[in-house]
Amino acid sequence: MSDATAKRPEPVMSRAWREADPICKAALVCALVLAVLALFAPWIAPHEPTAQSLLSRLRPPVGFERADPRFLLGTDELGRDILARSLYGLRLTLMLALLGATLGLLIGATLGVVAGVAGRRVDAAIMAAVDAQIAIPFTLVAIFCLALLGSSLPVMIVVLGLAYWEQYARIIRGDVRRLMRMPFVEAARAAGAGPRRIAVVHLLPNIVSPLVVQFTLSLSNIILLESTLSFLGLGVQPPTATLGAMVGVGRTYMPTAPWIVLAPALLILLITFSVQIIGDWLRDQADVRLRSR
């Protein structure tokens, strides 16, 4: 009994957590805290994010002179609670980033696989679209689309989803073309395996690692892109709060009320830091070549 217990394999996640370095553990904890704050923002926020109190406008955080104890992180130019708006902004920014990154993953990975297994004409057409996407600064494309179609949430999700699909396509296309020449794929094809089985059983496990890494890179880039568009006034329109919009509005008051910018800017920094570190960690966990060592 004791021998069987001693030989019981350790769960994968427990082993991965034990082997993770302190920076990775800190990033995981930070990401978990941010996710909880975003998920439960309506219950955690002490005030409504759009509620105004003009008599308490531009109040500093608690602990400073003229602070209002009702507003822990102070208020903005309209007397709205910075803490509440930061929590709701975190919630909306993460939702936009996740939906946009997922849409880009689906588009780019699908086109990358098609380009890798299809003939030259299809491959050339897809790669021409990829080159065109890379050649044109996407910020200009996003500004044009938002100016033409408006800044509603569905339009924002589509625009953010189209931001980095070409990176998925280039990476997956190269990996698929390399894997299609590998002996195990040729053996599976000789044994009668169809394209779907080859893609699911032989190709997908070997492209998970680059997909995970690219997803985390795209996630942080999309957060910065959304923040940039909101900073320029082209993102989600007021009074709805996003982190980038809060930074964009608060920049005017930086000399006299820097706390308006500090909270959302710090949240953006924490999100991008956590996502990048976790992406590297997930890459190591998902890479079948690393697991086999």
**Which pairs with CB-CB distance under 8 Å and at least 24 residues apart come from 21-24?**
23/277, 24/277, 24/278, 24/280, 24/281
Computed over every residue of the chain, the mean pLDDT equals 82
pLDDT band for position 141 (50/70/90)? confident
Q: Which pLDDT score is estimated for 1?
A: 46
Per-residue pLDDT, averaged over 248-270, amounts to 88
Helix (H) or strand (E) holding 203: none
Instruction: Give pLDDT tens digits for 33-59.
Output: 999 999 999 999 988 998 888 888 889
Q: Does residue 15 register a pLDDT over 70?
A: no
Q: Which residues pair with 75 in a beta bridge?
A: 81
Q: Which pLDDT score is estimated for 14?
A: 64
Instruction: Give pLDDT tens digits for 279-293.
Output: 777 766 655 555 544
Instruction: Give pLDDT tens digits for 151-160.
Output: 788 888 888 8
Choose among 50, 39, 48: nearest CA to 90: 39
Q: Which pLDDT score is estimated for 229?
A: 83
H-type helices in 150-258, by residue range? 153-161, 165-180, 183-190, 195-197, 204-231, 243-250
Per-residue pLDDT, averaged over 62-81, amounts to 89
What does the DSSP 8-state code read for residue 240?
A: S
Choose among 107, 53, 119: nearest CA to 80: 53
**226 contact partners, CB below 8 Å, separation of at least 6:** 93, 96, 97, 100, 156, 160, 235, 242, 244
CB contact burial 151-179 (16+ within 10 A = b; e otherwise):
beeeebbebbbbbbbbbbbbbbbebbeeb
Q: What angle do CA 115, 212, 170 make, to 5 degrees?
A: 25
Q: Which pLDDT score is estimated for 11?
A: 58
**76 contact partners, CB below 8 Å, separation of at least 6:** 57, 58, 82, 85, 246, 249, 250, 253, 257, 260
The residue among 120 and 262 whose pLDDT is bigger is 262
* CATH number for region 26-40+69-291: 1.10.3720.10
Q: pTM for this one?
A: 0.82
Per-residue pLDDT, averaged over 80-109, amounts to 91
For the chain, give the percent of residues with pLDDT over 70.
Answer: 88
Instruction: Give pLDDT tens digits for 101-130.
Output: 999 999 998 888 888 877 788 888 988 988
Domain ranges of the chain: 26-40+69-291
